[in-house]
Amino acid sequence: MPKAYKWVLFLFCLTLTMLTGRAYASPTMSVEQVKPGMIGIARTVIQGNKIVDFKVKIIGVVNNNMQDMIMAKAYGPVVDDTNGIIHGMSGSPVYVDGKIIGAVARAISSDTTPYMFYITPIDEMTALWQLPDNLNKDKLPQVKIDLQNNKSESIDKEIAKIRSAYLKTLPSQPKELPAGKGSSKKQIIANKRVDNGKQLGEKTKKNTLLRGYVLPGMNMAESSPLTGTTPLFATGFSENSRQFLASKLAPFSLEPTSLAVNDVDSQGGSIIGTANLQPGSSVGAAVTYGDFIIGAVGTVTDREGNKIVAFGHPFTYRGNVNYFMVNADIVGSVKGILNGVKVASIGKIIGRINQDRYAGITGILGEYPAVVPMKVAVFDKNLQQRNIYSTSIAYNEELVPNLATSIAYASLNQSIDRLGGGTARVKFTIHTDAVPSGIITRSNMFYNPQDVGQFAVSELGTVLGLITTDAQKQRTIMGIDVDMNYDTNPQVASILRATTSSLKVVRGEKINVVVTYKPYRGKAREVLIPYIIPAEQPLGDMVLEVRGGGLIPVRDLLQGNIDTSAEEDKEQTTADKIAQFLDRPMNNDILVEAGTNIAENDKEQKEAIEAAVKFQQKLVAMGKQGKRVLPKPAVATTDYIIDNVIRIHLNVVRKK
């Protein structure tokens, strides 16, 4: 081999070592070699990124039916200053005689003995490096990130290339599904809409833009609940939105706090950071990244090349995962007898967390996780200001619906900067292979005098839930876009009356229903809605129900005890379920449809139910069980949420 070539090879290997760390993990000591009375040291960060030591005395080894755990006691100035073991020290490597024995994992009765803790054995942790990592490798290549040059432009190009190739695999070119209306349903616009998001003179604020993609064909990560909750940091969330997030994450034993700050912008424009990690360094694992970051900060236990192992306990306990690995500095610590915690400054993306197990988490430096990019635009009519928020959500089928709705809620809450009573117009678009067109879109209006946001994001969560619980196939979500227009005024209206030119009608006849409705503190308005008397309508008294689109029909209330939708759902595809959901009327619709007589006493109600049961039995005999055979209602769309129902009695006669 020529000398010049050998010299170049030497420089390359030296550079690689500088970038990725040493080639081998630390010398280890097995749990069998650990004896009571041994003295060691643990390494962690208390402030900034400086690694400091504290003393450790081994008490003994116990087994908790999951694995061996080493009991130990911390002492020395460092832990005296923090008043014992605190959140964020998890993963701190513990060394005896220069060999790593494991990681600080769990405090023991921190209210009475904050210096006592458990150590997860290192062999249990490094074994995670050998587990299969197939979650992001089914169909699309992995995007690499350039840690050396700290650039994210290459990610944009790679993601654009991947997304373009993926969309070509769909059966047809993407076309929007109807925004809450069936294609066969005639729609009347009662009032001209004003796009408040485009008014002149509005102020626009654009926040951090984060790019991302999600890979199709992922396997569902395994899940096992843990006793207690995992504390998370949640940056970008107000107290109201943090509480909303907490309610969404409670089923997963995750508890968000606000003890972290987002320091991404102060570090420059790129979202990619440097990865100078070593045992004892702080590191973060995040399920969302961007204007809203949700995750946890712990400590690196060990590193081998571009692989790290950390925490010494689970993060979300979801097995093979795709989460963000981020760098972090420690601002300081909150001390106290109960639940002390490090306050972290969250940095940039440095890799991908790929295992989340009982013994800890592992990650790969220089890889970008599979994510769902989400953009939320909020226009506040009162402030005349439009804010845009961008966040990427790590793809986990269980978490995505709850995380996405929490981010949408937090975006509204942060934008209006007040308690959220008022009216919200919401339109969301989901790019997914769950429907043949590739795109789902839905629009609606919501009003609540206390907190409209919780209602405004509900439909987004419902549709995402339908996608992520597809029993036939793992589905892909390529992106979520949400547009919200907010007004403090109640954009609601009540129907005053509805009239027809004649109360005597014949089957198949087209009649005009004139509906008068009055907005809150506004002048009465009228809309004319054409309606065709059903061809199968029985002769005699007919009830015509005129109602707001968000209200339950009286007919459905009477027949609710014979609903067979559960049986039908087993035969429906996810695309069918989504189409059925999108076919629901909007809250600002006025609907005209055939109703049912209201029973005035128990006898009449019993007769009505018996008649409904007979009708249902007839459907079963015809092979139409659980399917709607009633004509679709006539619809007029207004600029107001319609909050009531009125009824007209017609007389159906034979055609002469």
pLDDT interval class at 428 (50, 70, 90): very high
pLDDT digits (tens, 9 = 90+) for 412-421: 999 998 877 8
pLDDT digits (tens, 9 = 90+) for 553-578: 655 544 443 343 444 456 789 999 99
pLDDT interval class at 107 (50, 70, 90): confident
C-alpha 286/C-alpha 353 separation (Å) is 9
Asked if the model's pLDDT at residue 11 lies above 50, the reply is no
Q: Pick the closest to residue 548 from 587, 515, 584 (CA basis).
A: 587
Share of the chain above pLDDT 70, in %: 70
pLDDT interval class at 227 (50, 70, 90): very low
The stretch 634-647 carries a mean pLDDT of 94
Q: Are 94 and 100 in contact (CB under 8 A)?
A: yes
pLDDT interval class at 218 (50, 70, 90): very low
Q: Pick the closest to residue 468 from 405, 395, 566 (CA basis).
A: 395
121 or 254, which is more confident: 121
The stretch 580-590 carries a mean pLDDT of 94
pLDDT digits (tens, 9 = 90+) for 520-538: 999 999 999 999 999 888 8
The helix or strand, by DSSP H or E, that contains position 234, with its residue range, turns out to be: strand 230-235
pLDDT of residue 252: 85
6 or 451, which is more confident: 451
* Residues facing residue 205 across a β-bridge: 387
Asked if the model's pLDDT at residue 51 lies above 90, the reply is yes
> In sequence order, which residues have a C-beta less than 8 Å from that of residue 305 and are 6 or more positions away?
20, 21, 22, 23
Q: Are 326 and 346 in contact (CB under 8 A)?
A: yes
pLDDT of residue 478: 86
Planar angle of CA 547, 551, 556, nearest 5 degrees: 95
SS (H, E, C) 345-359: EEEEEEEEEEEEECC
How many of the other CB atoms lie within 10 Å of CB of 279? Answer: 25
pLDDT interval class at 17 (50, 70, 90): very low
Q: Which DSSP state fits 265?
A: G
C-alpha 358/C-alpha 337 separation (Å) is 26
pLDDT digits (tens, 9 = 90+) for 326-371: 998 888 877 655 567 888 888 889 999 999 999 999 999 988 888 8
Asked if the model's pLDDT at residue 514 lies above 90, the reply is yes
Asked if the model's pLDDT at residue 263 lies above 80, the reply is no
pLDDT of residue 419: 75
Radius of gyration of the chain measured on its C-alpha atoms:
30
> In sequence order, which residues have a C-beta less than 8 Å from that of residue 601 and are 6 or more positions away?
none
SS (H, E, C) 144-212: ECECCCCECHHHHHHHHHHHHHHHCCCCCCCEECCCCCCCCCCEEECCCCCCHHHCCCCEEEECCCCCC
pLDDT digits (tens, 9 = 90+) for 169-214: 555 444 444 444 433 333 444 433 323 333 323 334 444 333 333 3
pLDDT of residue 200: 29
Q: Pick the closest to residue 17 from 306, 367, 353, 308 (CA basis).
A: 306
pLDDT digits (tens, 9 = 90+) for 231-257: 788 988 988 999 999 999 988 888 887
334 or 262, which is more confident: 334
C-alpha 210/C-alpha 194 separation (Å) is 30
pLDDT digits (tens, 9 = 90+) for 450-498: 999 999 999 999 999 999 999 888 888 988 999 999 999 999 999 999 9
Q: Pick the closest to residue 106 from 95, 120, 94 (CA basis).
A: 120
Which of the residue ranges 147-161, 189-203, 628-642 would you say has the lowest mean pLDDT?
A: 189-203
pLDDT of residue 602: 66
Q: Are 456 and 445 in contact (CB under 8 A)?
A: no
**Alpha helix stretches (DSSP H) within 33-149:** 77-82, 122-126
Residue 335: half-sphere exposure toward Cβ, Cα within 13 Å: 10
CA 74 from centre of chain: 39
Q: Share the mean pLDDT of the chain.
A: 78
pLDDT of residue 619: 53
pLDDT of residue 483: 97
pLDDT of residue 413: 93
C-alpha 517/C-alpha 497 separation (Å) is 7
